[in-house]
Structure 1
Amino acid sequence: MKLNEDLKPVLQEPAGLSDPSAALEVEKISQTSKEFNADPKNRLMQNAATTNDFTTLLLNRNVMISDTHIFNTKIPEESRVTNQKQSGRCWIFAGLNTMRVQLIKKYNLENDFELSQGFLFFYDKFEKSNWFLESIIDTRERDVNDRTVQYLLREPVNDGGQYAMLVNLIEKYGLVPKSLYPESFSSSSTNRLNALVISKLRDYAVRLRRMHAHGASVEELRQEKEHNLKDIYRILAITLGEPPSQPFTWSFHSKDKKYHEFTGLTPRSFYDEHVGYKIGETISLIHDPRNKRMALYTIQYLGNIAGGHPIRHINAEISDLEDLAIKKLQAGKPVWFGADVGKYMHRSSGILDPALFQYDLAFNIKFEMTKAERLIHAESLMTHAMVFTGVHLDSHGRPVRWRVENSWGEEGGDKGYVTMSAAWFREFVYQIVLEKDIAPQRFLDVLNQQVVVLPAYDPMGALA
């Protein structure tokens, strides 16, 4: 294979950018400066913003007062907030946070009990490595500059995930208490581990594509892949520690100081017998205003476990997501959800509200994109997973604000819990997960539709 043999020549430079009339004129910049300085408010804001975090200056006091951490509907038992630290494992933390609630209640555990996030993280990294290499084999005939191939190569594995990936991991590998597989340095701070694994996977991708170019069969490519994965396992085992593979004992004291011991457990039997949550009996509802409602969607090349459950999303109205999240909370169950957490958040107060920062007062600007337009123009996508544990309803039963269990530790908000306004939910929440026995039949019927496949690089394929 010759270097750059797949690169295509640029046929034509963009004509518009070479047009002198497209350039900024120095005279116009000078005039803009004069107009800026003519407004005393601009000079006042400049004095303040050049020596302070400008977002702090723009905080809307009325919003800070109205978005309180008081709710009239909450699940009966709330747990102590967890901390994913310097990692992108929010989807795992959020999923396990929903499952530990019943386990804490069942055995009268302290509210800081945790299931091992690192256990699932190990297998997710290993399975995603296999998924990536299989995707490279599957796209072996495509030009290396093909948009999908480049998307796959951009980030072969990362910490993020979607709920269906959690389903696949737990159904295949089970769960263990955190005491049996605690955090390591590299599970809590994942940058260096990710960089190492990603570099090796790209190295393997080059090798697999080169082998294909020289006539290797799919069977030979998979044999090479199996050899590559032994290297990845070695890296993970050294940096994270090997997960429990032999029968283990789970022992603990309950809140009433009684001693409990369960012997001969495996990760699968611990999940089946003690956690007991039927994670496979759930559905994902998304709100994607670009696409048809009450239709079934998936994303090409999105997943983590080859041969596992495929990604399936039911696209619904945002009011459906609101109503069903309320229904689940009223039944005493927490709700896993995915959203764009980077938008309009004040971390120390723990508030999410689109009216939080008054950009109009400081900069004389406003944002006019719709939710659909933000998705289309790369302004928003699902970046984080958290858990609803409560909601405040008005006299008509409509949501005013939501209580959110985050996984960034107890600093900020109400000991790490966050308040989300109803307006923020409608604009930046993209996904919730429900048990099938809570979902109305009309949503279950959508699961029988032909699935619509979105491209690999679609924003609905973002990993929280």
Structure 2
Amino acid sequence: MTVISDQEIADFSADFNTNSKNQVASRAARRSGLLEASFNDRVSERLNHVFSTELDVGGVTDQKHSGRCWEFATLNVLRHYFGKKNKVKDFTFSQAYNFFWDKIERANAFYDAMIRLADKPLNDREVQSWLAFAGEDGGLWSMAINLVKKYGVVPSYAMPESFNSNNTTGLIDSLARKERKDAIALRKLVSEGSSQDELEKAKKHFLNEVYRMVSVALGEPPKKFDLEYRDDDKKYHLERDLTPREFVQKYFKDFKFDDYVVLSNCPNHEFNKLYHMPLYDNVDGGDQIKFLNVPIEYLAQAAVAQLKSGDAVIFGNDVLKQMERKTGYLDTELYQTDKLFGVDTKMSKADRLATGEGFATHDMTLVGVDEDHGHIRKWKVENSWGDKYGHKGFYEMSQPWFEDYVYDVVVRKEFLTDEQVKLAEGPAIDLKPWDNIG
């Protein structure tokens, strides 16, 4: 390591003051902040709320202060399907219901992993990945579908949002602390030579405590509910005593859950390969969490095709990059901080993923696209941050932003190539928990 000398500091200062524009930029940045000082309002010329293909959807939902975007995006797709089938545009499903079961199932997967990895040291990289993941509320489409398949869904009024579902920090912090302590106890039982029955007894005791914690925080989920709504033609509907599973079996019998594939674009991994993320397998006996990694143009093509068929598209993205909440703009030229600083921080997508600069931090839903003779101009995005941001809760995304910051789309197999369908139905490559595949 070399020491920065006084002469070097003097040289840096002299270089900074050589260009008078640096002082102008500094005054603007200090006065209004870096992002505001570098904001490019000209992006509004191409992000103008007009789309050549646009789904007829109702209002947006609001995940509040929680990491449940993946459940909101999944249930948005389901509610759009239900709304179209039953002519009820603004019908919504309970996010709290599926969030409840996510906490139970994820704790079960965590305890199983701690028993399986008990012979490894605590500082083992895989053990540490699981410990870091304890209690988390982030997730993926396939995880949400696993929960829907096992537990069904309920209308939002059957299990409404509460303080703790809207503000999950307290709950996930408590669950993480408890599960990590339980991990120490399970590891100790294994080291003492406890039988499988003894380990299962301990795990059941811990799961019972987790159930109690989640029930205190969110309330117990309903076992039955009355389906009641008035459709867009003002016709009244009532069906009594439905279980959540019966609701899915009856009203989603034509929704082919297994026809959906997650197409990813993570160029730090080999294309045309199916990958499996064991860390995210949230339901024992459920579907594995898989991604088919392909070039970005296939994500765009499949998403456009699915929108034109009348169905929305979930996509994972790095939402905090080049995004403004107020306008709802998502554009690679939105904040021109490199020009403000006089530096070049542009990186390839592969390099961003490899260094941790790039990561899918949010799930949203595509509900429209604007094309000009096959050239994609922009996308209409349904977010889950309420209607006070963007254009009544909807965002506009440029195609360059899609290419740079979108990491996956969830599409039906019919919109894949024949070769991609074969790959999606074939064996998958297991990834390590620390592999960044967006």
Name the SS of the counterpart of 2:60 in structure 1.
Answer: coil
Aligned residue in 2 for 1:9: none
The corresponding residue for 1:59 is: 39
1:308 deviates by 1.1
Per-residue CA deviations over 1:224-263 (Å, capped at 9, x if unaligned) read 1110010000011111011111x32111222333221011
* Residues in 1 aligned to 2:34 and 2:107: alpha-carbon distance in whole angstroms: 42
* Structure 2 SS opposite 1:296: strand
- Alignment RMSD, CA only? 1.4
Residue 94 (structure 1) aligned with residue 73 (structure 2): yes
Question: How many Å apart are 1:36 and its aligned residue?
Answer: 1.2
Distance 1:163 1:39, change over 3 A: same
Counterpart secondary structure, 2:333? coil
Summarize deviations over 1:131-161 as a string: whole Å, max 9, x none: 1111111111111111111111123121111
Q: Deviations over 1:152-193 (max 9, x none)?
A: 112312111111111210110011110111111100000001
Cα deviation digits, residues 305-362 of structure 1 (max 9, x gap): 1121111211111111111101111111110111111111111111111111112321
Per-residue deviation, residues 67-117 of structure 1 (Å, max 9, x unmatched): 221111112x112011000000000000111111132233332x3321111
1:357 and 2:335 correspond: yes
What is the CA-CA distance between 1:286 and the residue it aligns to?
0.7
Within a 5 Å distance, the mapping from 1:344-423 to structure 2 comes to: 344-395=322-373, 397-423=374-400
Displacement of 1:64 after TM fit?
A: 2.7
1:441 is matched with 418
Match of 1:85 among 45, 54, 64: 64
Q: Does 1:327 align with 2:310?
A: no
Q: Which of 427, 431, 453 in structure 1 is aligned with 2:404?
A: 427
Within a 5 Å distance, the mapping from 1:211-222 to structure 2 comes to 211-222=189-200
Residues matched between the structures, number:
437
* TM-score normalised to structure 1 length: 0.91
Q: Map 1:21-40; keep pairs closer than 5 Å.
A: 22-40=2-20
SS at match of 2:102: helix
Are the aligned partners of 1:390 and 1:403 in contact in 2 as well (CA < 8 Å)?
A: yes
Matching of residues 233-272 of structure 1 within 5 Å:
233-245=211-223, 247-272=224-249
Q: How does 1:115-264 map to 2 (within 5 A)?
A: 115-245=93-223, 247-264=224-241
Percent of paired sites with the same residue: 36
User: Is contact 1:64–1:356 with CA below 8 Å preserved after alignment?
Assistant: no
Counterparts of 2:371 and 2:345, CA distance in 1: 28
Asked if structure 1 preserves the Cα contact closer than 8 Å seen for 2:275 and 2:430, the reply is yes
Amino acid paired to 2:386: G
Question: What is the DSSP-based 3-state SS (H/G/I as helix, E as strand, rest coil) of the residue aligned with 1:50?
Answer: helix
8 Å contact 2:369–2:376 — kept in the other structure? yes
Question: Partner amino acid for 2:17?
Answer: N
3-state secondary structure, aligned to 2:26:
helix
**Kept in 1: contact 2:34–2:337 (CA 8 A):** no
Contact 1:115–1:178, Cα closer than 8 Å, also in 2: yes
CA distance in 2 between counterparts of 1:255 and 1:324 reads 30
Distance in 2 (alpha carbons) for counterparts of 1:185 and 1:164: 26
Kept in 1, the 8 Å contact 2:81–2:311? The answer is: no
Deviation (angstroms), 1:369: 1.4
Out of 283, 287, 309, the position equivalent to 2:261 is 283
Distance 2:79 2:9 in 1: 59
Structure 1 consecutive aligned stretches of length 4 or more whose deviation exceeds 6 Å:
none
Deviation larger for 369-378 or 282-291? 282-291
**Structure 2: how far apart are the matches of 1:135 and 1:297?**
20
Q: Does the alignment pair 1:45 with 2:25?
A: yes
Give yes or no for the alignment of 1:338 onto 2:312: no
- Structure 1 contact 285–431 (Cα < 8 Å) conserved: yes
Runs (5+) with no aligned partner, structure 1: 1-16
Shift of 1:448: 4.0
Give the partner amino acid of 2:230. H
Q: Is the 8 A contact 1:167 1:280 kept in 2?
A: no
Question: Residue 381 of structure 2: SS of its match in structure 1?
Answer: strand
Higher deviation after alignment, 48-57 or 179-188: 48-57
Q: Which range is displaced more, 320-329 or 427-436?
A: 427-436
2:430 is paired with a residue whose SS is: strand
Residue 368 of structure 1: how far off its partner (Å): 2.9
Does the residue aligned with 2:123 lie in a helix, a strand or coil?
A: coil
> Are the counterparts in 2 of residues 73 and 329 from structure 1 also a CA contact under 8 Å?
yes
DSSP-derived class of the 1:280 partner: helix
